[in-house]
């Protein structure tokens, strides 16, 4: 059981790293938000399909063909529909918010607030959160603020941190509403994965999730945007990277990881996406220009706080004596 939990943590950390590194690739795309989401989702579906076929053939050779129960198939289809719809709404609204004016840092901070949305939604579903985890969530939220919202600060002082200009960034603009709803969407997607991943085939759930996302994104793409093949082909590197690694691999690892990890802890692990995005930007800037764009002092503190929260969340719960 402990080995499965450790494996789940590793899966979620790798997923967070892949999501964080995708911000660099996503910045290079030149297509609309629905086109980008549709293309990366289609790539994920194409990537996962042969893996599922190969996995099924291998299982049939080892165990023989066992017809799936109708209830199990229905549960898988329902899970794919729910998870895919939530992922489409969350991903699309995040990109729309950024396109309408929300800064990347602010969007990252608001989106990652699903670490608070998950336990709050869990309370309505009867999932209790131990006191230590609330402390970890507070530390992670402060860390996210320092990481995402203080990049322009040159002065390392409390006065600069609490200045009018810095706090003004926290004011909610109309474009931020999209990203706030996006955070709710990601919270719902995480809770849906928590519900369905222990009960169904995780690979097939991931495949169906992206199939639903791809269909919805394609419909929105043709209605709201005018994509051209030349624009799509000009962004093929970003689309393939996001489609295979960020979508096909990372979201599948999320499903496997959440199978063994409580949703509150899983959401904190996945919020490290923001930290990995900063670290990936350092590596990318060094490889392309020869000069590493190092984070500010506040950003380093934010990263440390987030990792501290993750480590504390892994402390075993004390068992009550009878």
Give dist(CA 223, CA 236) in Å, integer.
22
Give dist(CA 232, CA 37) in Å, integer.
12
Give dist(CA 69, CA 318) in Å, integer.
40
Give dist(CA 223, CA 265) in Å, integer.
38
What is the structure's pLDDT at 322?
44
Contact 267, 189 (CB under 8 A): no
The DSSP call for residue 98 is H
What is the structure's pLDDT at 89?
95
Give dist(CA 247, CA 275) in Å, integer.
19
Question: Alpha helix locations (H) across 101-201?
Answer: 104-111, 114-124, 131-149, 158-161, 164-168, 174-196
Give residues with Cβ within 8 angstroms of 227, minimum separation 6: 31, 32, 35, 221
Give dist(CA 284, CA 292) in Å, integer.
8
> In this structure, what token pair is assigned to residue 292?
């590493």
Give dist(CA 76, CA 192) in Å, integer.
12
What is the structure's pLDDT at 170?
62
Query: Which of these, 319, 317, 321, lies nearest to 133 by C-alpha position?
Result: 317
Q: What is the pLDDT along the chain (322 residues), one digit of tens a residue?
A: 567 888 899 999 999 888 887 766 665 567 888 999 999 999 999 999 999 998 888 877 776 655 556 678 899 999 999 999 999 999 999 888 877 877 666 777 788 888 888 888 888 877 788 888 888 888 888 888 777 766 566 566 666 666 666 666 666 678 888 888 998 999 999 999 999 999 999 999 999 999 999 999 999 999 998 888 888 888 888 888 889 988 999 999 999 999 989 888 898 889 888 788 777 777 777 776 776 666 667 778 888 888 888 888 777 666 554 4
Give dist(CA 289, CA 285) in Å, integer.
6
What is the structure's pLDDT at 277?
77
Kindly report the pTM of this predicted structure.
0.84
């Amino acid at each position: 059981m402990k080995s499965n939990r450790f494996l789940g943590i590793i899966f979620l950390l790798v997923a967070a790293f892949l999501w964080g590194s995708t911000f660099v690739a996503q910045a290079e795309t030149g297509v609309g938000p629905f086109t980008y989401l549709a293309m990366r989702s289609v790539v994920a579906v194409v990537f996962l399909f042969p893996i599922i076929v190969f996995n099924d053939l291998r299982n049939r050779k080892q165990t023989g063909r066992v017809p799936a129960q109708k209830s199990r198939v229905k549960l898988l289809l329902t899970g794919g529909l729910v998870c895919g719809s939530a992922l489409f709404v969350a991903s699309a609204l995040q990109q729309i918010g950024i396109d309408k004016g929300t800064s990347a840092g602010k969007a990252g901070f608001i989106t990652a607030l699903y670490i608070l949305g998950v336990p709050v939604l869990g309370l309505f579903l009867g999932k209790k959160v131990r006191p230590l985890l609330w402390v970890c969530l507070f530390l992670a939220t402060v860390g996210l603020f320092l990481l995402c919202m203080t990049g322009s600060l040159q002065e390392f002082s409390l006065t600069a941190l609490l200045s009018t200009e810095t706090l003004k960034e926290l004011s909610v603009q109309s474009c931020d509403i999209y990203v706030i709803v996006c955070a709710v969407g990601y919270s719902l997607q995480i809770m849906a994965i928590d519900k369905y991943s222990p009960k169904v085939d995780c690979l097939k759930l991931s495949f169906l999730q992206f199939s639903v996302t791809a269909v919805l994104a394609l419909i929105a793409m043709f209605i709201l945007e005018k994509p051209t093949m030349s624009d799509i082909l000009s962004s093929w590197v970003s689309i393939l990277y996001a489609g295979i690694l960020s979508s096909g691999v990372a979201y599948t690892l999320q499903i496997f990881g959440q199978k063994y990890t409580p949703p509150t802890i899983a959401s904190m692990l996945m919020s490290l996406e923001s930290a990995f995005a900063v670290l990936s930007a350092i590596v990318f800037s060094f490889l392309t220009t020869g000069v590493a764009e190092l984070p500010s002092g506040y950003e380093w503190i934010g990263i440390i706080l987030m990792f501290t929260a993750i480590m504390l969340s892994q402390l075993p719960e004390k068992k009550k004596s009878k």
